Every structure is written in structure tokens, then in C-alpha cells.
Chains A and B, each alone.
Chain A
Amino acid sequence: MLTIAGRSFRSRLFTGTGKFASAQVMRTALEASGSEMVTVALRRVDLHDPGDDIMRLLDRERFFFLPNTSGARDAAEAIRLAHLARAAGGTNWLKLEVTPDPRTLLPDPVETLKATEELVREGFVVLPYINADPILALRLQDVGAAAVMPLGSPIGTNLGLQTRLLVAIIIEQARVPVVVDAGLGAPSHVAEAMEMGADAVLVNTAIAVAGEPVKMAEAFARAVEAGRMAFEAGLGAQRAGAEASSPLAGLDFLRPEPSPEPSIDA
């Protein structure tokens, strides 16, 4: 079972609430996904309004809401949004997104590190969205990030795990869960990330804009499970080429048996 900051999740598929054709479709799709962690843009919901579509339709028993700072351009803006979420009686959990470029929505590493450091100090459980930069991932863990969320490819592109090599390094070095976020456009993409050992994935666009979002949500759920099972089962090696053909080639200098230790008096 996946545990982040002491909270356990049965499903390793995290989802989002954006881009759905209607709140009703969103609800059905998220329920079909089996997801237990749903990220919600703070700028999009009215946390004070019980009549807000998202807040009203999603069962709080079933879904854990992870507010995100989507839209923040620097650390100061992200921190203000975080304070807002906490003040609204929400949660101290936060998906930290700092994206100064409105075109690519790529995360700003410097501001993200600054904001994480400050928010952790203030007692937030911070899950920063980052480029697949292993050193940044380590620096964020050093300052207390509860998980790291590297992108598979730029958000909304559906291009899959273009950052595979770097995500693999992040996973190998991680001391906290790694959630691959953004760019995962097909169930095969999330299966790939899970097979590599990612702890979870976050998928929003690919479900929201699918021809049949509910069916697609289930497809992603199964792919996450399949990928995780394969990781746990241990994948067979892909053999690139054979090593030395002769078993002891180049080792003829070795003494064959444990060497007799000469006496000190000799």
C-alpha cells in the first residue's frame, strides 16, 4: 500500500478535476478510476461554498482532496494560495505547482524549492510538481517534501514518459514516494512508469478529454495495477549482448586456490 506522510492509499492512480465536459462526467469517471486522491485547483473551486460543483459532487469519504496551486507564478503566490486553502478549513496537504510560463506550464525549480522550504516550515505536507530533475528532487527531499512529482512530458501533451531516463534516476535515489505527473496520455504510458517503480501516477487530461472518459478512467486504473504488479513481480532482463565468450578470458593471472600465507619469519 502506498503511504505518503502517514496516510495510506489503496489506489496508485491520482486524478484531477479539470477539463471534464461536465461535473457529472467528472464524478462518474473519477469513481470508475478507483482513485482516492484527487487534485483540485485552488483557483477553480470555492472552498467556502458547499454548493460548488466539485466539492458537492465528490464524496469526501471516498476521495482525498489535494489542493494545488495551479496558476501561481512564483513562491510568494503559491504560499498565499496555500494559506488560503488551510484557512478555508481544508487541509495542510498541498500539490505545489509554480508555473511562470503560461504557455508550457513548466514548473520553476528555483521558486518551487523556495516555496517548499517555507511551506514545510509552516507545517504543510508538500508534494511539489517538478521537471524530471534528479538533483532538484533530492534538494526538495532534503528540505522535507513528502513526495516528488516529476513530469513525464509537458502537461497536456499526452506524449508519455519522455523523461524516462531521469525519472528512473529520481526513483532510484528517492527517500519519499515518486508520483509521475503530467504528459501521461495513454494507459501504456502509466504502465511504463509503474513498471519502472514509480509509486503512483497522476492522470487528468487523458481521462477528461477521452471519447469515453469513464471507460478510459477504468483503462488507466487497470494499467496502473498491471504496471505495479509487474514491478513487484520483477521484470526479466532485456539482454543487449553477450559478455565474454570464454569464461575465464583475461583472468589467467589469478592464483587458482586461496593463497598460502607466507610466514612472517620467511
Chain B
Amino acid sequence: MLETPPLMLPEFSVLQARLALCSREEAEAALARPQRTLSDLAALLSPAADHLLGEMAAASARITRQRFGRVIQLYAPLYLSSYCSNRCLYCGFSADNEIPRRALSLAEAEAEAAILEQRGFAHLLLVSGEAPAKMDVDFLAALAARLRGRFASVSIEVQPLATAEYARLFAAGITGVAVYQETYDREIYATLHPAGLKRDFARRLDTPARAATAGMREVGIGALLGLSDWRAEGLALGLHLAWLRKNFWRTGLTVSFPRLRPAPGQFKPLQPVGEAELSRLLFALRLFDPDVGLVLSTREEERYRNGMVGLGPTRYSAGSCTVPGGYGGYDEAGGAAGEQFAVGDLRSLDEVAAMIRQRGFDPVRKDWDPVFQEIATTDKELKEDFAHG
């Protein structure tokens, strides 16, 4: 068997130096090419391509339409727990923040899911802070077992897990894993993650590969925009994406572009990223990888999400609430208390779907089916399977 070669991620300063070398000629040539290399991606992200935003948008729109059609997939996050042992300085769930915390029980999580199901969602993303004592693999597997018949797909965005844990969750009906590096800038990463399991940059970087190894159908990566130089983050995302493509050819890949939103803890973006920069990053990655799914969440405002329909993103969240239990009205009196971040687009699924339709695209609610996967009948059975290797 072929060994998977390790991901060689250069130091952030090396990526920045590479970007600084790009010329206008290289940027224009990169735009004109039918397929693009990492050098082309660097050129398209570099200051030398700043004048090409409109042309990149048009190219991104054309490639996206050709590859995905006039279609946008819709999903909702379901927050399970706001307990977290990490101290990520930018995050509302940081252990240092004094917020009301909550971890849903299985029954509560199922009730939240039932509300989303009733609102018309078929794709669910389970989200949790990193506190294994409050939200562990047993819980996720049990929840997946309860949800899998009712949703087209259930994915997770939780703490990094081991390959065997991902394999167990896959067998339980979880088909996708999202795990964002937050920043590919090792120095900034170290200062922003002073404590907790998340301190380990390399372990986090290796997480998408573990999820893919375990058989997950889809793996999502991303960088939290506002922490470091967005251009170099984009190049690092391209490197990570290309490496995953090369080594895990059976795995579908997506990239998310979470931009820092106001959050408890009053963290101010270190290097604010504007909408033009966010768009540029998204267009460049689309031009680099025509097949990658691109996710635009409700972190962004209504106006921006409306404008971006058709230009590159393939997936939108809608009607999101970032407090555990928030869909059922828990904490209604408390307002924004306990949120991970404030959402920028407050519209419901139906409203977002109507907007997408009005712009000539099809808002797709169901784009998968649990029947693809043979499922073990009980999680107990799964555990026994694992015990027996």
C-alpha cells in the first residue's frame, strides 16, 4: 500500500513571501488558464490581482454554473453544547467567557432537530464546543442513531477526534466532518490558543485527513477570517485542499469562509477582512478547484449573501441560531446570551429559499439520502464491532 505523504505546510511567512513575488502578468495569465496550479492560486490571491476582482467573479460564476448548475444547497447548524475547555481568544464559547452554558440532553437535541425538520431542513450540521466530558462520541453516535432516518445527511463540527472515532460515527450515520484550522499562521495560532486541547496545531491540521481515512463522504476545511493575512490563509487552504484531493480521492471536499463576527469576549479582528477580500478569496479558490463545495454561512449579512448567489458558493445555511437549545426558544428572555457569535442574516429557511429562487437558482433542501449507507442497527452493535476489530 502507498503511504500517505505528510502535508508540507510552509511557514506562513514563506507563503506571504511567495505572494509578494507575483506579478500582474502572472495574475492575468492565471485568470486566462483553463486549469490552475497553486502558483496560479498565489497569483490570483496576491496584490498583483487586485484589479481583477470583477473578472474573477465572472469566471467563478461561469465555472460554478458549469460544474454545479443553478443550484444552492441549504443546511442548518444544530448547537449541542457551549461548554468548552479551550481558550480561543476570538470565540464566544471560550472557557474564559462568563456566559450561561448549556449542553443538550439526547431528548433536547432530538427536539431541536424536530423543529428544524419541521421547518424543512434535510441537511443538519451538529456543532459543539470542545468539552468531551459534556459532549462525547457516545452522545454523538446515539444522537446520529436517532436522527439518521429523518434527515438526508447529518454532519458534525465538533472537537477533533481519532480515526476510529470518526469510523464509529460514520457507521452510526454521520457522513460529513467540518474542522477549521482557524488560522494556518502558526505564530498567531499559538497566541490565540493559549490553553486547552486545541493548542496542538499539528493535530488539528491532520484532523481532516483522519476523517477522510475513516471513510467520511465529505470533509470541510476553513480559515477564520480576521485572524491573520487572508491572502496567505487562502494559499494555505489551497495547499491543504490539493493535498487532501491527492491523497483522499474518494472524499468530497468543501471550504468555508467564516469571517469573525461580534462575539462575547469583545475580541477585535486582528486583520479585518472586508467583503471584497472575502469574495476574492472565494473566487480564487473556485478558480483553483472547480469541484470544491463552497459554504457561505449566516455569519454574513443578507445583502452580501443575496449578491453572492451564483458567483461561487454552493451551500448556504439559513435560519441559524448559535445557542444550544435556541430553536426551541430556550433563553428567549436572555436575548443573545450564550451565543457563539451573532448571525448576520436572520431570515428563515423559507425566506432564504425564496430569495435564491427569485435570483434564478434552485434552493435544494435534500441532496443526499441515508439509504446510501448500510447502518448498524444499534450503537451497541457498533461498539461490539469495534471491540472485535
Q: Does B100 contact A (CB under 8 A)?
A: no
Are A261 and B266 in contact, CB atoms less than 8 angstroms apart?
no
Q: Does B8 contact A (CB under 8 A)?
A: no
Are A247 and B53 in contact, CB atoms less than 8 angstroms apart?
yes
What chain A residues lie within 8 Å of B54 (beta carbons)? 244, 246-251
Are B31 and A254 in contact, CB atoms less than 8 angstroms apart?
no
Size category of the binding interface on chain A: 20 to 34
A233-258 interface code vs B (CB 8 A; 1 in, 0 out)? 00011111001101111111111111
Known: A236-B29, A247-B51. A254 touches B272 (CB 8 A): no
- Give the most central of A141, A175, A240, A251: most B CB within 10 Å: A251
Interchain CB contact (< 8 A) of A254 among B2, B59, B273, B276: B276
Least Cβ–Cβ distance between B323 and chain A, in angstroms: 14
Complex: A92 Cα to B55 Cα, angstroms = 53
Q: Does B279 contact A (CB under 8 A)?
A: yes
Within 8 A of B (CB), among A121-141: 138, 141
Q: Does A143 contact B (CB under 8 A)?
A: yes
Are A244 and B274 in contact, CB atoms less than 8 angstroms apart?
no
What chain A residues lie within 8 Å of B57 (beta carbons)? 244, 250-251
Are A249 and B58 in contact, CB atoms less than 8 angstroms apart?
yes
Q: Please report whether the interface of chain A is mostly helix, strand, loop or mixed according to DSSP.
A: loop
Q: Does B6 contact A (CB under 8 A)?
A: no
Are A173 and B58 in contact, CB atoms less than 8 angstroms apart?
no
Are A143 and B304 in contact, CB atoms less than 8 angstroms apart?
no
Within 8 A of B (CB), among A102-155: 138, 141-144
Q: Does A22 contact B (CB under 8 A)?
A: no
Are A173 and B33 in contact, CB atoms less than 8 angstroms apart?
no
Instruction: For B339, give the chain A residue with the smallest CB separation.
Output: A264
Q: Does B354 contact A (CB under 8 A)?
A: no
Q: Does B331 contact A (CB under 8 A)?
A: no
What chain B residues lie within 8 Å of A257 (beta carbons)? 274
Are A261 and B272 in contact, CB atoms less than 8 angstroms apart?
yes
Size category of the binding interface on chain B: 35 or more
Least Cβ–Cβ distance between A97 and chain B, in angstroms: 22
Complex: A230 Cα to B62 Cα, angstroms = 29
Least Cβ–Cβ distance between A140 and chain B, in angstroms: 10
Least Cβ–Cβ distance between A120 and chain B, in angstroms: 8
What chain B residues lie within 8 Å of A143 (beta carbons)? 1
Complex: A148 Cα to B56 Cα, angstroms = 36
B338-354 interface code vs A (CB 8 A; 1 in, 0 out)? 00001000000000000
What chain B residues lie within 8 Å of A246 (beta carbons)? 54
Known: A247-B53, A259-B274. A237 touches B32 (CB 8 A): yes
Q: Does B215 contact A (CB under 8 A)?
A: no
Least Cβ–Cβ distance between A15 and chain B, in angstroms: 27
Instruction: For B29, give the chain A residue with the smallest CB separation.
Output: A237
Within 8 A of B (CB), among A161-197: 172-173, 175-176
Least Cβ–Cβ distance between B63 and chain A, in angstroms: 11
Complex: A201 Cα to B77 Cα, angstroms = 51
B178-199 interface code vs A (CB 8 A; 1 in, 0 out)? 0000000000000000000000
Instruction: For A135, give the chain B residue with the smallest CB separation.
Output: B249
Are A253 and B306 in contact, CB atoms less than 8 angstroms apart?
yes
Are B32 and A239 in contact, CB atoms less than 8 angstroms apart?
yes
- Give the most central of A175, A238, A248, A253: most B CB within 10 Å: A253
Are A243 and B58 in contact, CB atoms less than 8 angstroms apart?
yes
What chain A residues lie within 8 Å of B85 (beta carbons)? none
Within 8 A of A (CB), among B223-240: none
Are A253 and B303 in contact, CB atoms less than 8 angstroms apart?
yes
Q: Does B252 contact A (CB under 8 A)?
A: no
What chain A residues lie within 8 Å of B246 (beta carbons)? 173, 175
Instruction: For A261, give the chain B residue with the smallest CB separation.
Output: B262
Complex: A251 Cα to B272 Cα, angstroms = 20
Residues of A within 8 A of B (CB): 138, 141-144, 172-173, 175-176, 236-240, 243-244, 246-259, 261-264
Q: List 25 A-B contacts (CB under 8 A).
A: A142-B1, A172-B35, A173-B246, A173-B249, A175-B247, A237-B33, A240-B34, A243-B59, A246-B54, A247-B52, A247-B54, A250-B57, A250-B61, A251-B57, A251-B279, A253-B303, A254-B279, A256-B274, A257-B274, A258-B272, A258-B273, A259-B272, A261-B260, A261-B268, A261-B269
Q: Which 4 A-B pairs have the closest CB atoms?
A: A253-B307, A258-B274, A244-B58, A247-B54
Beyond known contacts A244-B58, A261-B261, A264-B342: 16 more, CB 8 A cutoff: A142-B2, A176-B2, A237-B34, A243-B59, A244-B54, A251-B57, A251-B276, A253-B303, A256-B276, A258-B274, A258-B277, A259-B272, A259-B275, A261-B268, A262-B262, A264-B266
